[in-house]
Amino acid sequence: MEPDDIESGDAIIPGKPVTVDRYRKGARINHWVTATCLILLALSGLALFHPSLFFLTGLFGGGENTRAIHPWIGVILFFSFAGLFFRFWRANLPKPVDAEWLGRANDLLAGHEERMPEVGKYNAGQKFIFWGMTTLILILIVSGVLMWDEYFYQWTTIPQKRVAVLVHSLAAVVIICVWIIHVYAAIWVRGTIHAMTRGSVTGGWAWRHHRLWLRELAGRNRVKKPEAPAE
């Protein structure tokens, strides 16, 4: 049985430079569908959140269309993120090294990444994003269903709907903040976006940021022959 940090498709590819397969095509598509849904939900949700942002409904064909489309995008998000969850939950399980990583977070922010402990495929910050997204999306889908009067009006009373609206709004604000942190971190750590667009990282990137994961791949002989150049 593979270690939790090694997923199907993870492999070292010898060459100059050495590259490491990190995400398969299916995982990358799954990720970008989820990301697109989050952006659309943020825009449509903000448009419905406050009159000053109502102009955003123009992106969806007006207020009526925005109100109709928003919950359905939420349903797509839920099932898309479920795909990511079942792909990655094992690699995001907490480990003792995560506490040490968090304890040295100041070194990371100060640019002294060499002082950080070796981590597997995901560090404690990435795990926080994963489990935070998981929790918030569950809250959003449940509260969203409770306030989706077109189909579930009789499920709840008016006071319960008001609570659902409040919970939904608060969760939406938090998930937008978490998403911003996720995007900022992906831009800040050079090479991260390449992993989710092309599926691979350089050996140097893996050694610097996820050394334990790279060691596990090497120890398990997860080495793949490089593809022959096209003639």
Catalytic residues: 182
Pull the structure tokens for residue 127. Answer: 């795990």
8 A C-beta contact, residue 221 and residue 214: no
Question: Which distant-in-sequence residues (6+ apart) come within 8 Å of 225 by Cβ?
Answer: 13, 14
Burial of 58 from C-beta contacts in 10 A (0-12 / 13-18 / 19+): exposed
- CA separation for the pair 50, 62 (Å, rounded): 15
Question: Which distant-in-sequence residues (6+ apart) come within 8 Å of 6 by Cβ?
Answer: 121, 213, 216, 217, 220, 222
Alpha carbon of 100 to those of 20, 90, 103, 123: distances in Å? 26, 20, 5, 11
- CA separation for the pair 78, 137 (Å, rounded): 7
- CA separation for the pair 119, 131 (Å, rounded): 17
Residue ranges in 50-198 assigned as alpha helix (H): 63-88, 96-103, 105-109, 124-146, 149-152, 158-188, 192-198
8 A C-beta contact, residue 110 and residue 71: no
